[in-house]
Structure 1
Amino acid sequence: MSGSKLPHKPSLMGKFLNTIEAVGNKLPHPIALFAWLSVLMVVISMVCSWLGVSATGTLVVSGVLAETTVETVNLFTAEGLAWMLTSAVTNFTSYAPLGTVLVAMLGVGVAEHSGLISAVLKRTVQITPKSLICPVVVFLGVMSNITSDAGYVVLIPLGAMVFRAYGRHPMAGLAAAFAGVSGGFSANLMVGVLDPMLQGISQEAAYLVDPNYQVNIMGNYYFLFVSTFLITILGTLVTDYIVEPRLGKFDQAVLGEDDTLRSLTDAERSGLKVAGIAFWGFALVVVGLCIPANSFLRASDGSLTGSGSVLIGGIIVLIALFFMIPAIAYGKKAGTMTNTVAVCNSLCKSMESMGPFVALAFVASQFIAYFNYTKLGTILAINGAHVLGELNIGLIPLMVLFVLFSAFINLFMGSASAKWNIMAPVFVPMFMMLGYSPELAQLAYRIGDSSTNLITPLMSHFAIILIFAQKYDKKAGLGTLTATMLPYSIAFLVCWTVMMIIWLALGLPIGVDTGLFYTPVV
């Protein structure tokens, strides 16, 4: 890791993580690694196709649930090679984080180059106790999933900046924010974008058993509300007692910048006041536009967060504007950005820094697309579900195994909704026939799915997090990021599962009007 060596002998955990980091960093450059993985996927698909690897299960086909046999798709055929050649561009342009990251970074870049972020951090340090900064970063990370993926590209780099401003290791701040955003992706104090998405999939699966059953959109709310505080506490403890001590002291020479936190100047204070007015003024405009029942920002059903909501669909653009508008106001008042030329130059500079991410995104998008095309992830999920379904071990052991199975599958399939589209038609009916509610199956899935987000390169935003990390550790590779995030993943998976076990043992409701059990229809 960057920085000085630890002054004491590494603990057993430290040695284990150091080994993972060393082995992982011996892998090729991430761009080359994903390129080789893409080639390997071609070979694996060819072998699995020759061996007749397949699975049969109930899946959604053309919007209809049906018994379907899924066979391995061989990439090393005329059709497969043609697909790889003709889909390369669309694989890249449809790569989920690409547009999200670039658009958000336009706004963040203007805020950074105008000096607004630096001034805000100085002010934050003045008013926030150092002891609270870590739980605040983790908590905000958890809460950021209300806006889907925005936390990945906004909060994680800011977490590093905040820790650096407090004289703490910026990689620890990055890790803490990443843990909250991704590891706590399902937890929240409010209903987020993921809730209606998963509820809709669970609903369709429940219809297979009971056409009259209604899956509650807040069916996991009570459990996930409490989980927000669990993740915040665990994220803070892991950061303070495992991750940051292992990182050692940050070497400022890595950035080549003056890290001294000077007091706010009069120009910065004036700029912050104007930026605050601009921020809240724009916020009032957005809120005002949301109020009318027929607002163009609402979904067709009138909701602000439901499927088709313009507010949620345009949240990345709005976030970019929430950075850009106050930044321009700040720059004008503070004298750091006095004309449109300066604004345009800052936009260009923010994109210059994204070159490594764009290159990595191209090869990473190909690998993920190849894996999805082969159907191997679907086959693994279906066959694993059949094995789990044949066990007759009781409520708690079954749910623990389902959590672990979901965590394992997540290592190979990054999208939460895509996996649930495959798994729900298998597990929801199976659990309902055993007497367990669809919401409980969904809850166990969300625990496992979130816990291993932090350590799988197939998570769509893993590449951009690695680029953020390389700003503070030039030698950071997959091993560095995996070793840094593994303690969070283990802590979340173990403690979250224990919390579920206690919840089930006490028979507590897991959500609004939602219990643990379902009475099968005779």
Structure 2
Amino acid sequence: MSTKAITKKRGIFNRFLDAVEFVGNKLPHPVTLFVMLALIVVIISDIAARAGVAEEFERITNGVPENVRIEAVSLLTVAGIRRIFSEAVSNFTGFPPLGTVLVAMLGVGVAEGTGLIQASLRKLVLVTPKRFITLVVVFAGIMSNVASDAGYVVLVPLGALVFLSFKRHPLAGLAAAFAGVSGGFSANLIIGTLDPLLGGITMSAANMYSPGYIVDPTANWYFMIASTFVIMIIGTFVTEKIVEPRLGAYNGDETVEIERISNKESKGLIWALISLVAFVAVIAFLVVPANGILRDDAGKILGTTPFMSGLVPIIALSFLIPGIAFGIAAGTVKSDKDVANHMGKAMSTMGGYLVLAFVMAQFVSYFSWTNLGTILAVRGADVLRASGLTGIGMLIGFILVSGFINLFIGSASAKWAIMAPIFVPMLMDLGYTPEFTQLAYRIGDSTTNIITPLMAYFAVIVAFAQKYDKKTGIGTLISMMVPYSLLFMIGWVLLFVLWFMVGLPIGPGVFVRF
């Protein structure tokens, strides 16, 4: 293919992204948009309820399959209107990202206020070759999903700062980190929080076809290790060849000075590292022993255990403690008042996010109450099942349907609880292992996380981006992330097909077919 043809194609694609950004940013302010969307959901719910829209399906609940019939629920009823008013506060306070963001920012705010983050970034800039920095940011984002959602709060804003340190556009760094954290959510070199969660649902669905079937948390491990490198390479390519050229030079007010590390800062970094190692040792003492305090009563570390439930405060402390140690050693912390002031300053920057989180929490709750998302998921699965596709065609179709449904239902476990009882037994009957079906689902679930405003942390990312460009809107973020989503999907599906054709094990003792 000629260079001219390639340039033309890239031009067409860039024009498409420009159109996405233009249309998206012509929408009202995100706060207004989610208010409008909430009102639309209320109206549609009434229309659907009056039309008798309903679905019957089998779902996994607490590990047990059950037959369920759900109907569209109108919010324009006495009960619905009462619920809208009476649960507005609990919708907000119970919004999953809210506590994660605010608690984590207490620690991050101290680390930033004392100068630890800035000094660490300058150190990173001075020792890391420029050509590898994008790769490092994407890889760090992928690995952060071991700590569940903490990467959204910590890695994404750090990605922007790292790029700014290298005199590169901070939004490109933000996009690279977001792509790794969210688009690569199912890739990792080690077992994360999602593996036992999805594995439990898969095992329950498999027992409907083959009682006693066991699905281990390591079921997809080998494939996810390979996926880490695929997503890392694709994420780097998209950042440097598509996203960053579109953004152009950064002309904003935010700066990060790249100066040599002073003696005081060097001393601070040493003490920060010592304090971090000590803190990690304490956490290891609470987790590693078989009777560790942060294990559950059965001795497990992963799953719904004290350790996993306590990851957010652990992450906050992992920034807070080194931040204080750095500040004392470097002379930027004179008393406890300085620490408290840094925390307060960090919270003061979250005002815009809190407003957006409030209206988004209402919209997400309304959508859940109406059952519209679940009905859409079941009907999408029924269409695929009735398509007549078999073999690899069926599996690729399943990946695409999973990705589409993910645009409307953000929770990976909630979607899988609906889809697993349909597809796991069906594909077992065709000779495919439940673990392989779970793997296909995870590809679709991950790749569209970064382009749906319904993803719980989408509002957080918009707020982070607006620090560098106040005009950043939903259209800007989606247009930045669409190339990642498309190429992640293509690259991951190609890896999936290769694995299918060669028949490699997807995890310890687990294969594509029985």
TM over 0.5: yes
Check the 8 A contact 1:270/1:333 in 2, yes or no.
Answer: yes
1:10 CA drift (Å): 8.0
Alignment partners' CA distance in 1, 2:44 and 2:53: 11
Alignment of 1:339-354 (within 5 A): 339-354=335-350
Instruction: Letter of the 1:76 partner, please give it.
Output: L
User: 1:44–1:117: structure 2 CA closer, same or farther, 3 Å change rule?
Assistant: same
User: 1:272–1:62: structure 2 CA closer, same or farther, 3 Å change rule?
Assistant: closer
Instruction: Letter of the 1:309 partner, please give it.
Output: T
**Structure 1 counterpart SS, 2:70:** strand
Q: Which residue of 2 aligns with 1:106?
A: 106
Q: Deviations over 1:78-125 (max 9, x none)?
A: 111111111111111111100000000000000111011111111111
Alignment partners' CA distance in 1, 2:388 and 2:55: 22
User: 1:210–1:23: structure 2 CA closer, same or farther, 3 Å change rule?
Assistant: same
Q: Which residue of 2 aligns with 1:260?
A: 257
- More displaced stretch, 307-316 vs 350-359: 307-316
Q: Which residue of 2 aligns with 1:289?
A: 286
1:460 CA drift (Å): 0.5
Check the 8 A contact 1:252/1:259 in 2, yes or no.
Answer: no
TM-score between both structures, scaled by the size of structure 1: 0.95
Instruction: Letter of the 2:481 partner, please give it.
Output: M
1:61 CA drift (Å): 5.4
1:339 CA drift (Å): 0.3
1:62 CA drift (Å): 7.2
1:66 CA drift (Å): 2.2
Alignment of 1:36-185 (within 5 A): 36-60=36-60, 64-185=64-185
Q: Which residue of 2 aligns with 1:276?
A: 273
**Structure 2 counterpart SS, 1:400:** helix
Instruction: Letter of the 1:15 partner, please give it.
Output: R
1:56 CA drift (Å): 1.4
Instruction: Letter of the 1:356 partner, please give it.
Output: G
Unpaired runs of at least 5, structure 1: 1-7
- More displaced stretch, 181-190 vs 204-213: 204-213
1:63 CA drift (Å): 6.1
**Structure 2 counterpart SS, 1:11:** helix
TM-score between both structures, scaled by the size of structure 2: 0.96
Instruction: Letter of the 2:313 partner, please give it.
Output: V
Instruction: Letter of the 2:359 partner, please give it.
Output: V
Q: Which residue of 1 aligns with 2:208?
A: 208
Check the 8 A contact 1:55/1:379 in 2, yes or no.
Answer: yes
**Structure 2 counterpart SS, 1:373:** helix
1:34 CA drift (Å): 0.5
User: 1:478–1:304: structure 2 CA closer, same or farther, 3 Å change rule?
Assistant: same
Q: Which residue of 1 aligns with 2:423?
A: 427
**Structure 2 counterpart SS, 1:139:** helix
Check the 8 A contact 1:189/1:225 in 2, yes or no.
Answer: yes
Check the 8 A contact 1:216/1:512 in 2, yes or no.
Answer: no
Alignment partners' CA distance in 1, 2:496 and 2:360: 34
**Structure 1 counterpart SS, 2:249:** coil
Check the 8 A contact 2:63/2:200 in 1, yes or no.
Answer: no
1:185 CA drift (Å): 0.1
Check the 8 A contact 2:220/2:435 in 1, yes or no.
Answer: yes
Q: Which residue of 1 aligns with 2:470?
A: 474
Check the 8 A contact 2:195/2:217 in 1, yes or no.
Answer: yes
Instruction: Letter of the 2:126 partner, please give it.
Output: Q
Q: Which residue of 2 aligns with 1:333?
A: 329
Alignment partners' CA distance in 1, 2:288 and 2:315: 19
Check the 8 A contact 2:353/2:460 in 1, yes or no.
Answer: yes
Q: Deviations over 1:164-190 (max 9, x none)?
A: 111111111100000000000001111
Q: Which residue of 2 aligns with 1:393?
A: 389
Alignment partners' CA distance in 2, 1:508 and 1:392: 26
Q: Deviations over 1:289-311 (max 9, x none)?
A: 22321111112221222x23212
Q: Which residue of 1 aligns with 2:3?
A: none
Let me know the Cα RMSD of the aligned residues.
Answer: 1.5
User: 1:227–1:303: structure 2 CA closer, same or farther, 3 Å change rule?
Assistant: same
Check the 8 A contact 1:382/1:426 in 2, yes or no.
Answer: no
Check the 8 A contact 1:218/1:512 in 2, yes or no.
Answer: yes
**Structure 2 counterpart SS, 1:207:** helix
1:145 CA drift (Å): 0.7
Alignment partners' CA distance in 2, 1:160 and 1:61: 40
Unpaired runs of at least 5, structure 2: 1-7
Q: Which residue of 2 aligns with 1:503?
A: 499
Instruction: Letter of the 2:431 partner, please give it.
Output: G
Q: Deviations over 1:245-274 (max 9, x none)?
A: 110000133x3xx54312222221121111
Instruction: Letter of the 1:317 partner, please give it.
Output: P
Q: Deviations over 1:438-460 (max 9, x none)?
A: 11111111000000000001111
Instruction: Letter of the 1:279 partner, please give it.
Output: L
Q: Which residue of 1 aligns with 2:5?
A: none
Instruction: Letter of the 2:218 partner, please give it.
Output: M
1:211 CA drift (Å): 0.9
Alignment partners' CA distance in 2, 1:514 and 1:62: 25
User: 1:469–1:47: structure 2 CA closer, same or farther, 3 Å change rule?
Assistant: same
Alignment partners' CA distance in 2, 1:65 and 1:163: 48
1:9 CA drift (Å): 13
- More displaced stretch, 364-373 vs 267-276: 267-276
Check the 8 A contact 2:264/2:329 in 1, yes or no.
Answer: yes
Alignment partners' CA distance in 2, 1:47 and 1:91: 24
Alignment partners' CA distance in 2, 1:148 and 1:30: 26
Alignment partners' CA distance in 1, 2:261 and 2:419: 54
Check the 8 A contact 1:109/1:347 in 2, yes or no.
Answer: yes
Q: Which residue of 2 aligns with 1:4?
A: none
Check the 8 A contact 1:216/1:514 in 2, yes or no.
Answer: no
**Structure 1 counterpart SS, 2:139:** helix
**Structure 1 counterpart SS, 2:508:** coil
- More displaced stretch, 290-299 vs 130-139: 290-299
- More displaced stretch, 477-486 vs 59-68: 59-68
